[in-house]
Amino acid sequence: MLKRGISFCLFLLFIPFSLFSYDISNLYNDCYWHTLLHFKNGKSEIDDKKFFLSEHGKHNPKAELQATIKALQTDKDKIFCKFPARVQWIYKMLPELELEVGVYSCREMDKIIEDYNPQTVSLIFPTAHINSPASMYGHSFLRVDNDSKTPLLAQAINYAAQTQETNGILFAYHGLTGGYEGRYSITPYYNKIKEYNDMERRDIWEYELNLNIDEIKRLLYHQFEIKDYYADYFFFTENCSYNLLWLLQAAREDTNLVDKFGLKAIPIDTIRAVKNDGFIEKVSFRPSKSKKIKEIVKKIDDIDMAEKFLENGYKFKDLKEENQKAYILDLASEMLRYKRAKNRIEKKEYVKDLMTILKQRSQIDVKSDYPVSQPARPLEGHKTSRLQFSVDEDSFLLSFKPSFHDVYDIEKGFIDGAYINFFDLALRYEHGGNLKFEKFDIVNISSYAPRETFFKSLSWEILFGFERNFKDEMQFQLKGGAGYSYKSFGFLYYLFLNPAVYIEDDISVSLSPKFGIIKNFSNLKIGTNIYREFFSHGEEITHAEIFSTYNVYKDISLNLKYDITDDEEKASISLFYYF
């Protein structure tokens, strides 16, 4: 009994010696260890306590490394499958620990690698959804391919806020304040095509990355070990695009992407950072289903007949021209698929109608060829922060907006008619020596979504913030409105009815009919808008403006504007610098 007691005491003494016999004085500050912990600015951005093995792990990478080594020595099978990326790196840095503990193995992780058989990874960018303020920046996720010829069968790695919220105001509030859990997930890529390409009518840009097989495996290891843990989701910073950068850093050890972002991380900015770090191999474009439908519509001579065909059981009346029949049938099949994607038709009825259409189409020997022209690539557009310096006959104006794109900016690389800006601040210096706070737009969103034959979009806009009025008084304003937009011969024109509330010493309300036209060229944009505002206290104001913006260089533009407010006229010239 005495011998057994002495042996047990010696064993207890040996455990702590074994656990902390490795020199980690430099390891816990290693950049890659911080990447695996999502450690930035003194703490981990993972907010789920279950992610950490040490109670101090969120703020102490040394304690978390010690706890991980201890767990390897005492419960290796559990840790192998809980943190495969951590184990792989620790074994690489401490080969003597691998000799002590044994070869790394996780059957579940090995099975995933075997099933995926990953060959390439692509960064996917669905462009802005013009009618959804939550998606007007676009989105991004990763696609893992095992065969470049069958991308629809690939797996998509996504990061998103976990919410079923449908109230836009509550969604914005929680999204801005970190009120949602953000989590990684994996889903088939064809589901993402259905969601973005088909249902939301968004183009998709696919950026194939030059990751090698070992880097892809590290990416998957890290995704596997954080998939069950959440981080607080922030709309501007720790969002869908930003959190993909942690995965790319885990894949390529010598890169640092997340430190490039602080106050904002907009999808197109993160893609630009990935490109600048040398990740992007090639770019592909996948047009939305609505773009294909538009190309079919262009070939149809009688749109009224096509509409009647769609509405009256897919039967032709008095149409013998085979080409036109083929175009209308192709339109019918695409519109039917769109309705099914939007869940506007039951599956049984969908299959029945589709068979009716395809049976007729099979009898016509006309090729279905509707090529969609590729627009300017998103990275060809201006950067998303703008500094503006303006001069008129009475004053100088300095304006700064951190994001994103407004009606005066060149559209190249952006979605026509989608304008979203946050925190646009302007100061005016008058020649008499007065410096004035001119405006502060907290949120300014306009969605000029053109109405088309088969897509009856509603346009809308909202603005709230502070602005100096025509009496030179600072006031809070809340404006909204809805209307219709149309596109013809390259001109976008819109008609709105906008109510507004102003708060200064008292509260006043107004109603304004507004009309505008915008025309885009490759490096030039011109536009005009006019509105008449009717106030509740009986006053009326008419305002009109004409503007043009010329892109001098990719991130430098000149803007000319001529304003008329009742009897007052003012011309100004502005320099836009994007960064």
* Whether 556 and 414 share a structural domain: yes
What pLDDT shows up at residue 11?
Answer: 38
Per-residue pLDDT of the chain (579 residues; tens, 9 = 90+): 444 444 444 433 434 434 446 888 889 999 999 999 999 999 999 999 999 999 999 999 999 999 999 999 998 888 999 999 999 999 999 999 999 999 888 899 999 999 999 999 999 999 988 777 667 799 999 999 997 678 888 999 999 999 887 666 787 788 888 999 999 999 999 999 988 887 888 999 999 999 999 999 999 999 999 999 999 999 999 999 999 999 999 999 999 999 999 999 999 999 999 999 999 999 999 999 999 999 999 999 999 999 999 998 898 887 889 999 999 999 999 999 999 988 899 999 999 999 999 999 999 999 999 999 999 999 999 999 999 999 999 999 999 999 999 999 999 999 999 999 999 999 999 988 889 999 999 999 999 999 998 999 999 999 999 999 877 889 999 999 999 999 999 999 999 999 999 998 899 999 999 999 999 998 999 999 999 999 998 999 999 999 999 999 989 999 999 999 988 899 999 999 999
* Whether 91 and 200 share a structural domain: no
Cα(285)–Cα(513) distance, integer angstroms? 39
Domain count along the chain? 4
* Whether 203 and 164 share a structural domain: yes
Query: pTM for the full model?
Result: 0.90
Cα(251)–Cα(2) distance, integer angstroms? 54
* Whether 426 and 461 share a structural domain: yes
* Whether 506 and 572 share a structural domain: yes
Identify whether 366 is part of a domain: no
Q: Which domain holds residue 353?
A: 289-361
* Whether 303 and 401 share a structural domain: no
SS3 string, 516-545, reads EEEEECCCEEEEEEEEEEEECCCCEEEEEE
Cα(306)–Cα(287) distance, integer angstroms? 23
Identify whether 13 is part of a domain: no
Identify whether 510 is part of a domain: yes
* Whether 260 and 357 share a structural domain: no
DSSP H helical segments within 107-156, as ranges?
A: 107-116
Long-range CB contacts (within 8 A, 24+) of 83-90: 83/225, 84/109, 84/221, 84/224, 84/225, 85/36, 85/218, 85/221, 85/222, 85/224, 85/225, 85/250, 86/36, 86/225, 88/218, 88/221, 89/32, 89/33, 89/36, 90/65
- CATH number of the domain that 471 lies in? 2.40.160.40
Identify whether 255 is part of a domain: yes
DSSP H helical segments within 343-445, as ranges?
A: 347-361
Identify whether 373 is part of a domain: no
Of 287, 282, 284, 329, the closest CA to residue 310 belongs to 329
Three-class SS of residue 243? helix
* Whether 301 and 269 share a structural domain: no
- 133 and 168 Cβ atoms separated by less than 8 Å: yes
Return the H-helix or E-strand segment holding 491.
strand 491-503
Last residue of a domain, which of 261, 286, 311?
A: 286
- 191 and 156 Cβ atoms separated by less than 8 Å: yes
What pLDDT shows up at residue 168?
Answer: 64
* Whether 402 and 551 share a structural domain: yes
Last residue of a domain, which of 251, 286, 321?
A: 286
Identify whether 15 is part of a domain: no
Identify whether 228 is part of a domain: yes
- 326 and 368 Cβ atoms separated by less than 8 Å: yes
Last residue of a domain, which of 105, 127, 149?
A: 105
* Whether 489 and 547 share a structural domain: yes
Identify whether 376 is part of a domain: no
What pLDDT shows up at residue 13?
Answer: 41
What pLDDT shows up at residue 133?
Answer: 66
* Whether 266 and 303 share a structural domain: no
What pLDDT shows up at residue 20?
Answer: 46
Q: DSSP letters along 20-51, please?
A: T-S--TTGGG-HHHHHHHTEETTEES---GGG
* Whether 273 and 297 share a structural domain: no
